[in-house]
Amino acid sequence: VKITRPDASRIDDVKPLWLALYAHHSSIADWPVRTPEESWEKRRRVYADVVDEGGILLFAEEDDGTVVGLALAEQEDGGSPTWSYPKDFVAIIDLIVLPEHRGKGVGEQLMAEVEEEARRRGVAALDLMVVNTNDVAIRFYERLGFRTDLRTMRKPL
């Protein structure tokens, strides 16, 4: 596959990948889910906004233009009142590879390109959030050098 930087006109190519992440998310935690259509409608707006605001959208494409993986990321300023680190960072919002294309290094290729773009921008870190039960993804990110620092906790009411 080759990694490309699509423009906003290709956002609807994201839908099958988003629905694959939606299915994956539904399977790793038993929280109530939205309908697939409602889920995509919400997420489509995020993709459009991030691209509009100069974010990073990458596709992993086959020669015929089929999109088998994607990464969406945006640049943010560090907001901690205590720590001046990281001054700024690139936050990975979504990383998705279609199920039948996983385990072949596509995710790693996408992450390498996100990291290269983050280095080009001169930011101090790469950040991401991952569901605590997403073991494959956590192991994958740890292999790429990510470590847990902040931890989100929740008490259902």
Ligand X SMILES: CC(C)(COP(=O)(O)OP(=O)(O)OC[C@H]1O[C@@H](n2cnc3c(N)ncnc32)[C@H](O)[C@@H]1OP(=O)(O)O)[C@@H](O)C(=O)NCCC(=O)NCCS
The binding site for ligand X (CB under 6 A) comprises 21, 24, 95-97, 102-108, 130, 134, 136-137, 139-140, 143
The string of DSSP letters for 81-134 reads SS---SSEEEEEEEEEE-GGGTTSSHHHHHHHHHHHHHHHHT-SEEEE---TT-
Cβ 85 to ligand X shortest distance, Å: 23
Neighbours of 72 (CB within 10 A): 23
Give the nearer residue to ligand X in terms of CB position, either 87 or 108.
108
Cβ 135 to ligand X shortest distance, Å: 9
Give the nearer residue to ligand X in terms of CB position, either 87 or 105.
105
Cβ 95 to ligand X shortest distance, Å: 5
Cβ 90 to ligand X shortest distance, Å: 14
Residues 6+ apart with CB under 8 A from 111: 71, 92, 95, 144
- 72: helix, strand or coil: strand
Give the nearer residue to ligand X in terms of CB position, either 42 or 104.
104
Give the nearer residue to ligand X in terms of CB position, either 31 or 83.
31
Alpha carbon distance 54, 5 (integer Å): 12
End-to-end alpha-carbon separation of the chain, Å? 45
Which of 73, 72, 133, 136 lies closest to 102, judged by CA?
136
Give the nearer residue to ligand X in terms of CB position, either 17 or 123.
17
Cβ 80 to ligand X shortest distance, Å: 22
